[in-house]
A and B are shown apart, each in its own frame.
Chain A
Amino acid sequence: MKLLIDNEEFNVPAGTTVAAAVMLVDRPSFRRSVSGEPRFPLCGMGICFECRVTIDRVAHQRSCQIEVREGMVIETE
């Protein structure tokens, strides 16, 4: 599936979660903490909210709970 991650185009297999997709393309962080630390997913099951990214302009989406869709636009912090 074709997606845009931080304005760069990538192809990932269908069924991949957004979290896995962002890690596959090696971004420095998913989000920045309130004190500016880079953060990555932690719990992998939608509990901790560390993997939040902006998906199709909607902020704070839990990337580990959402599967990629064709043409999805993902932004990390």
Chain B
Amino acid sequence: MSESIKAEVVIVGAGPAGLCAATGPVVASRSVVLIDDNPRPGGQIWRAEKGRTEDLAGRMIHKLSEHENFRRMPGTHVFGIDGNSLLCESPGGDVRVEFEKLIIATGARELLLPFPGWTLPNVFGAGGLQALVKGGLDVSGKRIVIAGTGPLLLAVAYYLRSKGANVVLIAEQAPRSRILRFGLGLWRSPLKLVEAVWYSAKLLTTRSVYDSYVVRAEGDERLRSVTVRIGAKTETIECDMLGVGFHLVPNTELAELLGCEIRNGAVVVDEFQRTTVENVWCAGEPTGISGLESSLLEGTIAGSSAMGAPDSGRFLRRNRRIRRIADRMNRCYELREELRRLADNATIVCRCEDATFGEMSKFDGFRAAKLQTRCGMGACRGRICGSASRFLFGWEADSARPPIFPVRVSSLAGED
């Protein structure tokens, strides 16, 4: 390790939860290190638009950086642990970060499911496509289909349209009646309701269908069209790009590596965001998908709890309420059975090792399939195919093992 540092509070993830977690301890003059995989702060939801620095995350980082007891490590990923130290690879070399208290705020990723043609260039995650456009990808005049499930689809479609894209279809797999029912249930959360109505109004001229899903993407070497099941009919639509995502999956790898209990794919925490491992807290999406406001609250609660400050019960109560709404929302976007049967035997499930559905389905668990087909052993360490297999086959992903991120051999050897 080229460098060794230590801090009282170490936070992994500079999204809304991580930034809020940092604020209390930094203001209270505790030494705080904030590690983030991304070059810019804000996580996915506050991902900055190319060239814009005056965003909320940027301002928060700027405020925090006025304190000498705060250190930020952008573009840095944690690949392993050693006792109370995180082993990290940063742009400047390897760093060992020792913590007294650790707050995990690693966010969530999109659930991406295999279907024939999903490995073609120009097939992206829905949020993935938005992130690429924020990074400077030009979509003006492009014909784009947005599909999958979840509230993200509308936000992405709206964003792409504002960038000049021709969004030719939004295909939501959930039934419209279920979404309407959930929407009506939001009367006690007027802000959320206003947001939903606002997006729907902005997208009035975009064709939106429910009970619908992409069954196939076609093209050779590049996407040319998608075939979509719309209710009882099947339609082929020419397009330049497809953004398809199936709601979110908590990023729990670091928590798992530390030995924190995971239940139903989420990190188990108490109401102060304490995990089952001493001196380790977890906040935001890794504790269960519940959105921005909950991430802000949980980050703040974790930050206070980690420095031993009492928390106002108001935050705890508000968070409980939001999490109940989130549970209802997650159920509303429950995935339909047909999605388990889209892949055929030749469809690649593990994109790192090109292991197919046919090869993998011969086995009765992820571990066995992994040993024979190498699925989940590639660069992404099973982050994509492990989550997909959980849905497709009902397999529990193998427990996280170091390195949880591919690293240079010199980093593993502790040279550099």
Contacts and interface: CB of A to CB of B under 8 A. Distances in A.
B39 A43 contact: no
Interface of B is mostly: loop
Nearest to A22: B137
Nearest to A52: B379
Contacts of A34: 352-354
Nearest to A37: B119
Contacts of B50: 13, 15-17, 20
Interface residues of A, number: 36
Interface in A51-70: 52, 60, 64-67
Contacts of A50: 351
A42 B124 contact: yes
Given A16-B136, A33-B119, A65-B75, A42 B37 contact: no
Nearest to A14: B51
Contacts of B136: 12-13, 15-17, 20-21, 24
Interface residues of B, number: 42
A19 to B, nearest CB: 6
Contact of A28 (B127, B221, B351): B221
Contacts of B348: 33, 37
Interface of B: 37-39, 44, 50-51, 75, 109-110, 112, 119-125, 127-133, 135-138, 221-222, 251, 348, 351-354, 378-380, 383-384, 406
Query: What 10 A-B pairs are tightest by C-beta distance, nearest first?
Result: A17-B135, A44-B131, A44-B128, A16-B136, A40-B121, A20-B136, A49-B379, A15-B50, A20-B137, A15-B51
Given A16-B136, A23-B132, A67-B39, 13 more contacts: A15-B50, A19-B132, A20-B133, A43-B124, A43-B384, A44-B124, A46-B38, A47-B383, A49-B379, A49-B380, A49-B406, A50-B351, A67-B135
